[in-house]
Amino acid sequence: MTDHKPKNWDPRSDNVQRDQIAAYDSMRQRHSVAFSDYLQWSLFRHNDILRVLHDHETFSNAASRHLSVPNAMDPPEHTHFRRLIEPYFGTKAMATFSPICRNIAEKIVARLPRQGEVEAMSEVGQPFALEIQCAFMGWPANLHQPLREWVNRQQTATLEGDRKALGELALEFDGVIRDLLASRREAGSNAPDDVTTQIMRERVEGQALTDEQIVSILRNWTVGELGTISASIGILMHFLAEHRDIQAQLRDNPELLPAAIDEILRLDAPLITNRRVTTCPVEIGGRHINKGERLTLLWASANRDEAVFEDADTFRLDRNPDDNLLYGSGIHVCPGAPLARMELQYFMEALLANTSLINPLDIQPAVRARYPAGGYERVPLYVIRR
């Protein structure tokens, strides 16, 4: 039997959900590893999570019941698909997408009121994530609203723990992708030469990708992007509003933005967790864990670990970027990190250059998101645009 005692916490309790970041900080002070029925073994400390990330033989990424390319794969299979995917986020690809990305960021900011209230998640974060992702994938603008409605329904089903609805939503999203593939096949040589079409032409070890593999790749890119980028926008705008001195500093010194964005998202994670499964019995964080057990890696805790980050709750631009696990580490480090960083930098450049004030609304405080979402559900702000 696995050592399931004590059951140290309930990640679904109101105390945790009210402010996930504060709850994980508190847990980290008391436990390196804790067990719950919901998340199984949760890891809170930076050194334990870094160990897991760099030992893929003991801690497998194959923790999903469904095909997930390459997220839930281990070497050598992971290596083959990773080699296929990385060029889509390489220097050449980013240079090609850069002007489109910047234009979308500027258009989103231009929609802000000249002077007035804005809800950063629904009016800025979600539209930005949807428009930027569809543009990157080569998907038509008429998918923006259906995808937005799908995201909202998925969030509701996730919070309610409605497995039946989540299964139906997954099939619905896969159907959208399959329709896009079918339209490109019907167009033949006239199909747009975009990321979606290019993925359809790829081969791995000499074999053409199956539709299931293509759908999995595109689903992982899109669903993950929509959630984390919109969460990141909410976190960044909330932070600027709450820290007027840093808002002014970044307005005057936009060259600081790359480090500042990573630091803000270290403080307040847009992505809360990731999963692994043990391939053999192991000791970690003073706990014995059997083979085949599920681990939950809490990025939102590891990136605030006082053992690694001095004054962990303080915004600092002089930290070692290698310590920041915002995009992971090891062989499974996020391949889309260059795209995400470019999107967020262009958004922040446009936001700071085209506003003179971003303030919180005291009468409507921000509302924290509930697990598994990170960041905020609502971020009411007051803005003045130049």
**How does DSSP classify residue 122?**
I
pLDDT tier, 159 (very low <50, low <70, confident <90, very high otherwise)? confident
User: 273-320: per-residue pLDDT in tens?
Assistant: 999 999 999 999 999 999 999 999 999 999 999 999 999 999 999 999
Question: pLDDT value at position 64?
Answer: 85
Q: How many CA atoms lie within 13 A of 170 on its CB side?
A: 13
Give me the mean pLDDT over the 84-101 stretch.
97
User: 33-53: per-residue pLDDT in tens?
Assistant: 999 999 999 999 999 999 999
Domain ranges of the chain: 14-385
Q: What is the pTM of this model?
A: 0.95
Q: Are 39 and 26 in contact (CB under 8 A)?
A: no
Quote the longest CA-to-CA distance of the chain.
63
Name residues whose C-beta falls within 8 Å of residue 194's C-beta, 6 or more positions apart in sequence.
Answer: 137, 138
Domain 14-385, CATH number (from 1.10.630.10, 3.40.50.200, 3.40.50.2300, 3.40.190.10): 1.10.630.10
Question: pLDDT value at position 182?
Answer: 96
Write the single-letter amino acid at 103: N
pLDDT tier, 194 (very low <50, low <70, confident <90, very high otherwise)? very high
Question: pLDDT value at position 344?
Answer: 98
Give me the mean pLDDT over the 116-135 stretch.
97
Q: Are 227 and 233 in contact (CB under 8 A)?
A: no
3 state DSSP class of 182: helix
Least Cα distance to 59 among 316, 369, 330 occurs for: 330
Name residues whose C-beta falls within 8 Å of residue 27's C-beta, 6 or more positions apart in sequence.
Answer: 8, 9, 34, 42, 44, 301
Q: Are 187 and 164 in contact (CB under 8 A)?
A: no
Residue 1 has pLDDT above 50, yes or no: no
Least Cα distance to 319 among 307, 334, 308 occurs for: 308
Q: Tokens for 351, please give them.
A: 């936001």
Question: pLDDT value at position 66?
Answer: 84
pLDDT tier, 6 (very low <50, low <70, confident <90, very high otherwise)? low
3 state DSSP class of 11: coil
Question: CA-CA distance, 383 to 386, in Å (whole number)?
Answer: 10
Q: Are 68 and 274 in contact (CB under 8 A)?
A: no
Residue 67 has pLDDT above 90, yes or no: no
Beta strand segments in the chain, E: 33-36, 40-43, 59-60, 115-119, 203-204, 207-208, 273-278, 282-284, 287-289, 294-298, 355-360, 367-368, 376-378, 380-385
